[in-house]
Amino acid sequence: MSLLTLKNRRERGFFDGQFLIAMPGMEDRNFARTVIYICAHSDAGAMGFVINRPQSLTFTDVLLHLDMIKQEDSIVLPKRAREFPIQTGGPVESGRGFVLHSDDYSSDSSIPVSDDICLTATLDIVRAISKGDGPTRATMLLGYSSWAAGQLESEVVNNGWLTCPANEELIFDRSLDDKYERALAGMGVTAAMLSAEAGHA
């Protein structure tokens, strides 16, 4: 599923607004121990963002790459901009940036993905954040994750993912190291429990 499909969708699918939590036996290294926020799901496929993978780039690096600031200006960026989180959203279009954010910021290009969360993938939000403005809660993700028609459903049926309603606090939580465990804990399970169950499949 593409960003264009997300923008043109008419109704939400079953996995919209859900977390996918990778089962311990996940073989795809792109998704081992990941928590994914699904932004769109329909008969055409699904699209979402990994929310617990760090990214070596900083927001300052992004601004310099986009020629939005000069190197000497980076030290005068607002603290909020200097500390703005960048994460790895998935293996598709990994050089492209997307901002998941609270709905207190909106532009013509912002796409609502839930009642409280929007997605913006244009430079206007990057400029706003660089000035210390922009949404109250946000994170930038480089790349995204997508599934073809029927693919995600098949992976869930084949025990590749656990699913549960998304938690906004967890989406924007900057502590990534234990986010996988906390997402599981929100379902009342641990990775050790899942490993044991998988052994008896």
CATH number at residue 98: 3.40.1740.10
C-beta atoms surrounding 143 within 10 Å: 22
Q: Does any domain span residue 201?
A: no
Q: Does 200 fall in a domain?
A: no
Q: How many CA atoms lie within 13 A of 137 on its CB side?
A: 12
C-alpha closest to that of 143 among 3, 9, 28, 26: 3
Quote the percentage of the chain above a pLDDT of 70: 91
Three state DSSP letters for the chain? CCHHHHHHCCCCCCCCCEEEEECCCCCCCCCCCCEEEEEEEECCEEEEEECCCECCCCHHHHHHHCCCCCHHHHHHCCHHHHCCCEEECCCEEEEEEEEEEECCCCCCCCEECCCCEEEECCHHHHHHHHCCCCCCCEEEEEEEEEEECCHHHHHHHCCCEEEEECCHHHHHCCCCCCHHHHHHHCCCCCHHHHHHHHCCC
The answer to whether residue 199 sits within a structural domain is: no
Q: Is residue 175 part of a domain?
A: yes
Domain encompassing residue 64: 1-191
pLDDT, position 77:
86
Residue 197 forms part of a structural domain: no
pLDDT in tens, 22-73: 998 888 889 999 999 999 999 999 999 999 999 999 999 999 999 888 888 7
Domain presence at residue 196 = no
The percent of residues in the chain predicted with pLDDT above 90, rounded, is 63
Number of structural domains found in the chain: 1
Q: For residue 149, tell me if it sits in a domain.
A: yes
Identify whether 55 is part of a domain: yes
Asked whether residue 108 carries a pLDDT value surpassing 80, the answer given is yes
Parallel, antiparallel or unpaired: strands 86-88 and 138-148 = parallel
In the prediction, which pLDDT does 196 show?
42
